[in-house]
Structure 1
Amino acid sequence: MSVVAYKCKNCGGELLFDPDTQQFHCEYCGSYFSREELEETPPEKPADDPLKDEEFYQQAVEYVCPNCGAQVVTEESTAATTCYYCHSPVVLSPRLSKKLRPDRVIPFALKKEEAQQAFENWQRKKWFLNRSFLSQSQLDKMVGVYFPYWKINCRTRSHLEASAAKIRTWRTGDREYTETERYHVVRGGRVSLENLTFTAMNREDSDLTRGVCPYDFDKAVDFSMAYLSGFQAERRMTEKQDIRPQAKEKIEQCTRQCLQNTITGYTTVTVDSTDYLIEREDWEYLLIPAWILTYQYRGKEYYYAVNGQTGKTCGSLPLSMGRLAALFAGVTAAAFLLLCLIGGFLL
């Protein structure tokens, strides 16, 4: 398998994506290059030739973890030899299907050091955390990973009918009166929905990425293999047809809510029916960034994630049984002492 890497035009050193500058940095001579400069093609190709499916096919490889089943996409020059989920040895596959090339990507905006600092700030208040989790060797296992999502923008022609009521209550003397006016409300029109997202993973830990949402999708750019330099990406496991049922349900729910929000001035509103027709539907296969740290403790796996764009954190931590036992012993001793003092006072 040939090695394809992104090399510095000045010194030939390896280029890595820098979240701070949103450019590609040479760690040897300090040069910076934009994505456009990096993707300049050889003289025999047109200078404006975009990245094609064939190029993705040639440059992207996949590793498969035989232990947990993780399937991760990276560039051919990856140094990854262990699974970032369970740290088991992995096997590099020679080629990926061309259809798995993403449409868009949200580049990392958070450096690894910043993600590690976010983790330290998060766990600092966790008094019952197992101390071994805080070692530098654990923090060094943090990996930058792009997670696959389907994003939908659509426009619907919608119609909603509802029963509404205005209720007025007043009192005259000792008697209370209630007046109810009932209305048949109709709403209709075109509803545009943007950035409806659905995970393209079928792993149980996909909830981890939901925990660090939201992302600013306006910062998404056209996909380039260069953005995988120094990072990894989860392989897409679901296709459009797999999530279309839940997508239709979400579209109907959002459409109904948009129309219902226009019904105001009533005491009660009950939606009787909603009909909609999708006039336009645009799908994008998108990669979103997250820093991931995994930890195995007493046979159980713990996961921690940092939003690679905003720094939002989410995860679970192993508790220290010794610290819990110490707290329980301290509380028990304090309660016993208090009972003794109360007993002595009563005697």
Structure 2
Amino acid sequence: MVVQYKCPCCGADMKFDSNTGKLLCESCEYTSDIDTMKRNEEGNTTSSEEYSNATNSTSYDSEVNQYVCNNCGAVLITEPDTTATTCSFCGAPVVLADRLSGESSPYYIIPFQINKEQAVQAFKKWCKNGRLTPKGFMTADRIKSMTGLYVPFWLYDLHSNGEINAACTRVRTFDQGDYIVTETQHYNVYRSADLNYLKIPVDASEKMNDELMDKLEPFDYSNLKAFNMPYLAGYIAEKYNYTDKDLFPRIQNRVAEYAETYLRSSIAGYTTVNVFNKRIHINPRNAYYTLLPVWLVAYDYQDSEHVFAMNGETGKIVGRPPLSKGKIAAWFGGVTAASFVIIKIIALLMGGGF
């Protein structure tokens, strides 16, 4: 089933607007609330969803599914994981509602807080701040595409309990007559803790680079909302490839590191700390299927395409830009020269010299 949101004033397609948090008709600038989708007809206010539902011929294939655009009648060829897209013929935003039902229905969504124009300007500013990037890259005039994508994540609530044993020492040195005495005290230290972690995100798409998605954190959960299909209008959206059970080993290792770091940080005031035993257990409480906003940037530079990701809520940008060998050499030379000058000044002040 194809869902397209229509303007009640002029009949044009409506898209989610990150500036207002509403559906916007770019043709007549009419806006409509996401939750209520209110419309005013003949002086009466009624609540209804402003979309046209059409019965579409759907052919199932091992690779793609086929839908029909309600606007122009064009066939929409999509990958099986796509839940929202745009018609490549008329540009109308399309939501594939049948792929957002049952277990495929997200629980939460963080709507885009940064629109495309803002994302482009933020990326250009980021490029210009690259001190070690080539001059041609810093101009940021080779943006090939800027795609707004809702990436599927699982948000985990977990409980952990752990304990560690450590052999610690406190070392004290003091003068005693003609001798310098070193006193070492040995301790067997034990720590335990019960810790709760809420909404730890892990991306659930096989298409997304895990390292890139992890670096987009943190997300501001004050903008977390119950899922509603109109948020997807005008953007691309994917559904998860991995269930919460599939990804639990990954989140388990990640949270175990958090817990161990916390336990180690509680051992303070010792000269040396040697952990010789640890036990950390992670229990899952809840896992929420959630769509989080990401701008994917494809950038052409020197016949190569570089891919960057921007947090569509906070504007944080991650990725590996190209580096200028000349700038790196100049930076290293400058640091070396500065270090040499500092060492020489210290030597002169101490009465020495080179």
Regarding TM over 0.5, the answer is yes
Q: What's the counterpart of residue 7 of structure 1?
A: 6
Q: What's the counterpart of residue 268 of structure 1?
A: 272
Query: Of 180, 198, 201, which aligns to 1:197?
Result: 201
Q: What's the counterpart of residue 310 of structure 2?
A: 306
Query: Could you give the per-residue CA deviations for residues 128-184 of structure 1, whole angstroms, max 9, x where no partner exists?
Result: 43699725xx46x31111112222121223333222222211122442212222222
Any conservation in 1 of the 2:202–2:214 contact (CA below 8 Å)? Answer: no
Q: Partner of 2:28: helix, strand, or coil?
A: coil
Q: What's the counterpart of residue 338 of structure 2?
A: none
Q: What's the counterpart of residue 20 of structure 1?
A: 19
Alpha-carbon distance in 1 for matches of 2:323, 2:160: 49
Alpha-carbon distance in 2 for matches of 1:206, 1:64: 24
Q: What's the counterpart of residue 69 of structure 2?
A: none
Measure how far apart 1:93 and its partner are: 8.9
Q: What's the counterpart of residue 319 of structure 2?
A: 315
Q: What's the counterpart of residue 122 of structure 2?
A: 118
Query: Could you give the per-residue CA deviations for residues 220-275 of structure 1, whole angstroms, max 9, x where no partner exists?
Result: 11111111101112332222232222222222222222222222222222223233
Count of residues in Structure 1 that have an aligned counterpart in Structure 2 = 290
Q: What's the counterpart of residue 230 of structure 2?
A: 226
Q: What's the counterpart of residue 34 of structure 1?
A: 33
Task: Name the TM-score, length of structure 2 as normaliser.
Answer: 0.68
Change in Cα spacing, 1:261 to 1:71, as seen in structure 2 (3 Å) is farther
Query: Could you give the per-residue CA deviations for residues 16-45 of structure 1, whole angstroms, max 9, x where no partner exists?
Result: 1111122222223323222211399xxxxx
Query: Could you give the per-residue CA deviations for residues 278-330 of structure 1, whole angstroms, max 9, x where no partner exists?
Result: 45521122222121222466764321222211112233557899xx9xxxxxx
Any conservation in 2 of the 1:129–1:317 contact (CA below 8 Å)? Answer: no
Any conservation in 2 of the 1:145–1:233 contact (CA below 8 Å)? Answer: yes
Q: What's the counterpart of residue 255 of structure 2?
A: 251
Any conservation in 1 of the 2:3–2:97 contact (CA below 8 Å)? Answer: no
Task: Name the TM-score, length of structure 1 as normaliser.
Answer: 0.69
Alpha-carbon distance in 1 for matches of 2:11, 2:273: 67
What are the residue-to-residue correspondences of 1:1-347 with 2, within 5 Å? 3-38=2-37, 73-75=82-84, 78-80=86-88, 96=99, 98-124=102-128, 126-129=133-136, 134=141, 138=143, 141-203=145-207, 205-278=209-282, 281-295=285-299, 300-316=304-320
Alpha-carbon distance in 2 for matches of 1:15, 1:93: 15
Any conservation in 2 of the 1:200–1:238 contact (CA below 8 Å)? Answer: yes
Alpha-carbon distance in 2 for matches of 1:7, 1:299: 41
Alpha-carbon distance in 2 for matches of 1:188, 1:130: 50
Contiguous gaps of at least 5 residues in structure 1: 41-46, 50-60, 82-91, 325-347
Change in Cα spacing, 1:17 to 1:270, as seen in structure 2 (3 Å) is same
Change in Cα spacing, 1:176 to 1:71, as seen in structure 2 (3 Å) is farther
Any conservation in 2 of the 1:151–1:198 contact (CA below 8 Å)? Answer: yes
Any conservation in 1 of the 2:84–2:232 contact (CA below 8 Å)? Answer: yes
Letter in 2 for 1:15: M
Any conservation in 2 of the 1:129–1:319 contact (CA below 8 Å)? Answer: no
Any conservation in 2 of the 1:201–1:238 contact (CA below 8 Å)? Answer: yes
Measure how far apart 1:218 and its partner are: 3.2
Letter in 1 for 2:170: K
Change in Cα spacing, 1:123 to 1:248, as seen in structure 2 (3 Å) is closer
Query: Could you give the per-residue CA deviations for residues 72-118 of structure 1, whole angstroms, max 9, x where no partner exists?
Result: 52337x3247xxxxxxxxxx999537422222111110011101111
Alpha-carbon distance in 2 for matches of 1:173, 1:262: 37
Letter in 1 for 2:84: E
CA RMSD of superposed structures (Å):
4.0
Contiguous gaps of at least 5 residues in structure 2: 40-45, 49-59, 66-77, 90-94, 327-354
Change in Cα spacing, 1:237 to 1:37, as seen in structure 2 (3 Å) is same
Which piece of structure 1 moves more, 230-239 or 9-18?
9-18
Alpha-carbon distance in 2 for matches of 1:291, 1:187: 43
Letter in 2 for 1:158: G
Which piece of structure 1 moves more, 298-307 or 123-132?
123-132
